Structure 1
Amino acid sequence: MTGKIPTIEDIDRLHHVLAPSQAAYDLVHTHCVIVADITRRLIHRQNSLFTRRCTLPDDAPERNGEYATRDALMLPTDGVRGGVVPPRYLDVHIATIGALVHDIGVYKLLLEDGSDGRPLVFDGPRYIEHGLIGYNILLDEGYDESVAEFARNHTGVGLTRKQVVDQGLPIPPDDYVPINLEQEVVMVADKYNSKSVPPKFLTAQTYADKAARFGEQNAQRWEDLVGKYGVPDVAALAQEYNMRLV
């Protein structure tokens, strides 16, 4: 570790510095807060399964991912249903920090910032760049590589070098995929909330349909991730944050 791990206050200040308007801050920062909330819920579920792994029955669905049949017995859920026992205990603090910074690069891709009362508009053709832009911003701020990678490695369900080349994406050919469980869970949590205007929550099935538009491999990857981490109660979250659910 060569850089610093930011505090939540540090991250909020950075959002304020980068946001070109209050409307932009409200949209992007709120999305990051929601993703951090979902991240914590998914990790609490994972860590509960890990600490109880020795007492789970051999036929418990959490051992093989058949979570739709029934839920874990007497385990904390934080509104998350399903999931399988992880290989280790996850670091909820670093994942929360990562969730709060994962979309920091989005501020640089606003064509309309909402300061004149009109809706925010993102630069659609360049939007794929936001992860790499955020990664470089975070490194320039002196944050550790382990933090900056949350911005770099969260797009879609893991963007591979082959996909970058085959789709002619405007980023350097490379693998932009999570390299640890904490990055992966933030990537998953991100898919349940959209920065559309107005913002919205997505069900697992809604995102599955979206992923399928980019190929069967993407759809299968999402299905595997849902089985791995379980499903948050997005209907309750949508009500809590006063957003629509699709």
Structure 2
Amino acid sequence: MGRMTGYIPTLDQIDVLHHRIAPSQEAYDLIHTHCVVVATIARQIARRQNQLFAMRCKLGEGSGNALAAAAQDTQTAPESTDGVTGGKVPPRLIDEHLVTIGGLLHDIGTYRVLKHDGTDGEPLKFSGKDYIKHGLLGYEYLREQGVDESIAEFARNHTGVGLTRQMVIDQHLPLPASDYSPKTLEQEIVMVADKYNSKSLPPKFLTVDAYTRKAAKYGEDNKRRWLELVEQYGVPDVPALAERFHMRIVD
């Protein structure tokens, strides 16, 4: 993890961090619930990745390709963990606890991009022009609160399927010209998990196909990158998640 620059929050401390920045109970309910959903999906993906890694270790280094093929075959695939199917063997074990913490905090900056925040009598609404800033704002808030850099980066580095410096420049985004892509596998998993759930009102789950259409709006490279991530990390059981969290699904 490198040199510590702050503290790693406990689950109770994470909740305090949310309450401290939330302008209203309505905002907390929407954003904190989304973070719980994303942390749940991210943990499921991490467990699936670790399952595949453990099987490769058991079968031997040369089995990676065979295992990847088997993961796509419903007759021979290893039993999925928490409903995630498919996926490729990762280069190392994933830190499931770190993924959970990152998921619970990744969208904490969205409290600061609400146009109507639940205190003005209007329904919750995000500011379209400012929304792209939420990752950086979340990162800055967490660092201000003394949270370690390794955790704050989950907020900074989860937008889209990897926001690069060149994309910031080419799209004239209102952000400092920098790279906002994940730096670790754990950050990448949270970024992927985030794509399956939306804070729209009412909140909703997205299938792989639904997000593929969304990714395609930003170009074929963006769409291809998303599909590569799906191939690597597998597909969560969206219907089961939607039932668990009582949300609708967009196919």
Taking structure 2 as the reference length, the TM-score comes to: 0.93
Letter in 1 for 2:185: L
Where does 1:1-246 land on structure 2 (aligned, <5 Å)? 1-55=4-58, 58=63, 62-63=67-68, 67-70=71-74, 73-115=77-119, 118-246=122-250
Letter in 2 for 1:119: P
- Residue 69 (structure 1) shift: 3.9
Higher mean C-alpha displacement, 8-17 vs 213-222: 8-17
Structure 1: gaps of 5 or more residues: none
Secondary structure of 2:56's partner?
coil
The separation in 1 between residues aligned to 2:232 and 2:67, in whole angstroms, is 9
The separation in 2 between residues aligned to 1:89 and 1:117, in whole angstroms, is 47
Secondary structure of 2:109's partner?
helix
The separation in 2 between residues aligned to 1:71 and 1:199, in whole angstroms, is 35
Secondary structure of 1:111's partner?
strand
The separation in 2 between residues aligned to 1:72 and 1:156, in whole angstroms, is 33
Letter in 2 for 1:152: R
Partners of 1:161 and 1:175 within 8 A in 2: yes
The separation in 1 between residues aligned to 2:77 and 2:180, in whole angstroms, is 37
Deviations 1:6-25 (A, max 9, x none): 11111101111111111100
Partners of 2:71 and 2:77 within 8 A in 1: no
Segments of 4+ in structure 1 off by > 6 A? none
The separation in 2 between residues aligned to 1:71 and 1:25, in whole angstroms, is 43
Secondary structure of 1:210's partner?
helix
Secondary structure of 2:88's partner?
coil
Secondary structure of 1:80's partner?
coil
Instruction: Tell me the percent identity.
Output: 59
- Residue 197 (structure 1) shift: 0.6
- Residue 115 (structure 1) shift: 3.9
The separation in 1 between residues aligned to 2:248 and 2:20, in whole angstroms, is 29
The separation in 2 between residues aligned to 1:169 and 1:202, in whole angstroms, is 25
Question: How many positions carry a matched residue from both structures?
Answer: 245
- Residue 193 (structure 1) shift: 0.3
- Residue 240 (structure 1) shift: 0.8
The separation in 1 between residues aligned to 2:191 and 2:211, in whole angstroms, is 13
The separation in 2 between residues aligned to 1:146 and 1:72, in whole angstroms, is 38
The separation in 2 between residues aligned to 1:94 and 1:54, in whole angstroms, is 22
The separation in 2 between residues aligned to 1:73 and 1:208, in whole angstroms, is 25
Aligned-CA RMSD value: 1.8
- Residue 176 (structure 1) shift: 0.4
Taking structure 1 as the reference length, the TM-score comes to: 0.94
